[in-house]
Amino acid sequence: MSPAAKLAGFAATLAVLFGGGALAGGAVDLDRDEDVSKPAHDANESGGHGGGERAAHPVRGLAVAEYGLRLVVGDPELRRGRGEEVGFRIVDEGGATVRDFDVEHTKRMHLIVARRDLTGFQHVHPRQDADGSWSVPLRLDDAGSYRLFADFSNGGEPFTLATELRVDGAADLKPLPAPDPAAVSDGGYDVRLDTGRARPGQEANLRFEISKDGQTVDTDPYLGAGGHLVALREGDLAFLHVHPTEHGDAGGHDDGVGFAATFPTEGRYRLFLQFNHDGRVQTVAFTQEVR
């Protein structure tokens, strides 16, 4: 073969090799703007509270860290029957304190505390300090292990992170009360729950009728609605996502106080309803059986 023919063949081979490399490089697209290390679940998130896969998921509060954020409590050991300051932070993957939170239900942070037997329920709103940390006075009167839930929204995404608090001493654990559609609040209001039959995986409408001394009560707005509801699953204390369904006006007039909730599994759940009337927040609890 002549030298010219050899050079022509070599040039053709190089062209094929470079052409194939260009095609492969185009398939991988290493220069694109998207971060290839970004977790796959982000592609399914809508970025708004109440929308997207995360916001719609019925269960939260089973982990201390999720989606790059982590709950850190300064001292999880509390002394029984003493008011103590509980401090905590929300930190990112690099350990930096998160400072920016969205307003949800008129507050930037909701703190829920319940003992493992679903007694001792408290719902408080901590204050944020200048360094981004949060603190709140808390008193736990009974010994045992408590679950602390930090419920908040960051960047339009809802989070419920949870960890343990401990109160030393012999814990007198209580059995979960049997389901009963009627209960009395801590301030003496009669409350009746109507759910129909709650089935796993199906949205249930929870309607609470409130009365005092035989007279129907129209609740005042509380956290932007006619009432606030926390639902916890017996056993693992999974925190259920619920949302208010307006009956009448925002104060819950005409048709009681309503919520929609999806119970993900069979079992028993403890429902903690809070409502406002005559300047005082009332708390009442129900056991809901799902089957």
DSSP for 92-153? -TTSPBP-----BTTBS-EEEEEETTS-S-EEE-PEEPTTS-EEEEE---S-EEEEEEEEEE
**pLDDT tens readout for residues 98-131:** 999 999 999 999 999 999 999 999 999 999 999 9
pLDDT band for position 97 (50/70/90)? very high
- pLDDT at residue 246 in the model: 66
How far is 55 from 57, CA to CA, in rounded Å?
6
Of the chain, the percentage scoring pLDDT greater than 70 comes to 77
Better pLDDT: 18 or 279: 279
Residue 136's nearest CA partner among 147, 122, 121 is: 122
Q: What is the pLDDT of residues 243-291, one digit of tens each?
A: 898 654 444 445 689 999 999 999 999 999 999 999 999 999 999 999 9
The two structure tokens encoding residue 72:
């850190």
> What pLDDT sits at residue 155?
94
pLDDT tens-digit map of 207-257:
999 999 999 999 999 999 999 999 999 999 999 989 898 654 444 445 689
How much is the average pLDDT of 199-207? 95
Looking at residues 3-32, what average pLDDT do you find?
Answer: 39
pLDDT at residue 58, as a whole number: 73
Q: What is the pLDDT of residue 23?
A: 35
pLDDT of residue 7: 40
Q: What pLDDT score was predicted for residue 254?
A: 54
Q: Is 248 exposed, middle or buried (0-12, 13-18, 19+ CB in 10 A)?
A: middle
pLDDT at position 30: 28
Residue 34: what residue type? E
Give the CA count within 13 Å in the CB-facing half-sphere of 95: 0
Residue 28: what pLDDT?
32
Q: Is residue 13 scored above 50 in pLDDT?
A: no
pLDDT of 2 strictly over 90: no
What integer pLDDT is reported at residue 196 of this predicted model? Answer: 83
CA 30/CA 68 separation, integer angstroms: 25
Q: Which CATH superfamily is domain 40-167 in?
A: Immunoglobulins (2.60.40.10)
pLDDT of 255 reads 64
The answer to whether residue 10 scores a pLDDT higher than 70 is: no
* CATH assignment of 182-290, among 2.60.40.10, 2.30.31.10, 2.30.110.10, 2.30.29.30: 2.60.40.10
pLDDT band at 56 (very low <50, low <70, confident <90, very high): low
For the beta carbon of residue 149, count every other beta carbon within 10 angstroms: 22
Examine the pLDDT at 9 and tell me if it is beyond 80: no
Mean pLDDT of 56-73: 92
- Alpha carbon dihedral 45, 49, 55, 56, in 10-degree steps, equals -110
**pLDDT at res. 285:** 98
Give 169 or 250, the one with higher predicted confidence: 169
